[in-house]
Chain A
Amino acid sequence: MERVKVFEVLQGIFQDVLDNDDLVITDQSSALEIEEWDSLAQIQLVVAIEKKFNIKFNAQEILSWKNVGEMVDCILQK
């Protein structure tokens, strides 16, 4: 799947999980700058992404992401 397509899907998941339809994410978006993105949201994001793409992340991957761009890279490697 192309990067841009993955990004588009993630955009929807972020809006849905963080319950904010105005949210626009970029490669640089991180938990530091997006207020709703706390540790609980992180789990819901992981589960939603795993289901959507039918993949599984390992614990190290989940802990390693610093921003959305790194999440996308990780998805593309699966």
Chain B
Amino acid sequence: MLVLTRKLGEEIVIGEEIRVIVVEIKRGAVKLGIAAPPHTSIHRQEVFSKIQDENKKAGVLPENIREILKNAKPESFKMNRKSPLTNNELS
């Protein structure tokens, strides 16, 4: 891993299109400004990892998932509107 020292207001350039600037350093926290092309996703690592983990878990379903869904009684769901997939036709 490349480790760089930067002072307040100094920047790092990654590739041609990504710039990271140190905006503020205060009580153990560094505030960074990031300029990147619109298609670049920028995430806070700990939150991104949480969503990644949640997706990976959701991708592993119980063997009998179809049965589970079939047997789940509609009234046991915490629904507050009855009609599914009303936002826009996707299926």
A, B assembled together: no
